[in-house]
Chains A and B, each alone.
Chain A
């Protein structure tokens, strides 16, 4: 069975500090991995994706993530956060059956 685990439900961080949002996936799933962001009362927007190739992928708004096959992780990072980064972040996997499964989300709060 496929599963995605986001280890932190809430992450508070001060403005301009670095942040890491953690995501682990079960080894049985396809290694197509994604991070999405959801701002209040909106739908989900793609931040970045890993399909193949370089294990370090860069996305929008200065975010990046590293695919680590041995640790089955796909952690999201940003070296310096802004107030506007306050949002819900979801890690997702795409299975070989073309279904997308999501983690439970991490609420990032940037403190002025």
Chain B
């Protein structure tokens, strides 16, 4: 693994189903983030974690939950997917010292 790995790369999901998007980083970064990217809206922060064991809400947290059991992993869960959650989801991490965030390649999720 080099950098940030997201899985799956794409998924079609029936509305009402539960789904977990996975994110793993091998840079030992303290901070991790989940964004969704929608046309015309740019990237919007869903949830973040500044260190293992802590999480916080971003701009659009409703319908999503996260956990940070260890430094490397930061899964994003949709408890009951709705079509408005169709989007491209990006995981990112940073070392928390002012350096930039590094991004994964994204997960394209379609809720039908």
- Whether chain B is bound by chain A comes out as yes
Q: Footprint of B on A, CB under 8 Å?
A: 6, 9, 32, 34, 36, 42-46, 49, 51, 90, 92, 94, 97-105
Within 8 A of A (CB), among B16-54: 31, 33, 35, 40-45, 48, 50
A25 to B103, CA, bound (A): 22
- Evaluate whether A34 and B100 lie within 8 angstroms (CB atoms) in the complex, with A90-B43, A100-B45, A102-B43 already known: yes
What chain A residues lie within 8 Å of B106 (beta carbons)?
42-43
A98 to B59, CA, bound (A): 14
Across the interface, name the chain B residue whose C-beta is closest to A43: B103
Contact at B104–A43, with CB atoms within 8 Å?
yes
Q: Footprint of A on B, CB under 8 Å?
A: 31, 33, 35, 40-45, 48, 50, 56, 58-59, 90, 92, 94, 96, 98-106
Across the interface, name the chain B residue whose C-beta is closest to A101: B45
B94 to A: closest C-beta gap in Å: 7
Which secondary structure characterizes the binding site on chain A?
A: strand
A34 to B94, CA, bound (A): 13
- Evaluate whether A98 and B90 lie within 8 angstroms (CB atoms) in the complex, with A43-B105, A104-B41 already known: no
Return the contact of B40 from the options A9, A100, A101 (Cβ within 8 A): A9
A20 to B: closest C-beta gap in Å: 19
- Evaluate whether A98 and B105 lie within 8 angstroms (CB atoms) in the complex, with A34-B100, A49-B100, A103-B42 already known: no
A103 to B59, CA, bound (A): 13
What chain B residues lie within 8 Å of A46 (beta carbons)?
100, 102
A52 to B31, CA, bound (A): 21
Contact at A100–B33, with CB atoms within 8 Å?
yes
Nearest 6 pairs of A and B residues by beta carbon: A104-B42, A43-B103, A102-B43, A44-B103, A43-B105, A105-B42
